[in-house]
Amino acid sequence: MPVAAYLDTMPTLGARVYVHASGQIIGDVTIGTDSSIWCNAVLRGDVNRIVIGRGSNVQDLTMGHVSHKTPGKPDGSPLLIGDYVTVGHSVVLHGCTIGNECLIGMGSIILDDAVIPDHVMIGAGSLVSPGKVLESGMLYVGRPAKAVRALTPEEIAHLRYSAEHYIQLKNNYLNHLPGASKI
């Protein structure tokens, strides 16, 4: 079953959320309206919370996890993803914060307490170090990720377009494919 409790905490899914049958949503996970979780993606909210906003997509083989709360760090490191975010294939998101209308490129790794503000594009295969705070409106690439240039107005518009494209795609799965489940 792709949606499962951890202890007594069950995930909460908004209206028109699509979770592929091979995805795993576990524990303290909240997913906003019109978002989608794709093939073999895992969101494991067992030792802290995961919150995904409206219209975001988490693509195939992505792993989302969190860091637990400790006396020295009472909030731990939750995973917080804003609205209209595209998380590419095979991304690792661990206890970080991602703002609205961002694109996280395939194979990227974003680590604990990193903050990705609104309108940021992370190039494929990049690594955002723990605690790093990025600047809005920029393209970051590399290991470790570094700002290479400001995004153009067209690229910023494409961030929202990418998420809206995935909303249409998940609607196709929900409305037209046999066996698709509406969660």
The tens place of each residue's pLDDT in the chain, 183 residues long, gives 699 999 999 999 999 999 999 999 999 999 999 999 999 999 999 999 999 999 999 999 999 999 999 999 999 999 999 999 999 999 999 999 999 999 999 999 999 999 999 999 999 999 999 999 999 999 999 999 999 999 999 999 999 999 999 999 999 999 986 655 555
**Is 45 a domain residue?**
yes
**Is 9 a domain residue?**
yes
Domain span holding position 120: 3-176
CATH code (residue 38): 2.160.10.10
Are the C-beta atoms of 119 and 137 separated by less than 8 Å? yes
**Is 182 a domain residue?**
no
pLDDT of residue 176: 84
How many domains does the chain contain in total?
Answer: 1
**Is 181 a domain residue?**
no
pLDDT of residue 68: 97
**Is 141 a domain residue?**
yes
The pTM of this model reads: 0.95
**Is 63 a domain residue?**
yes
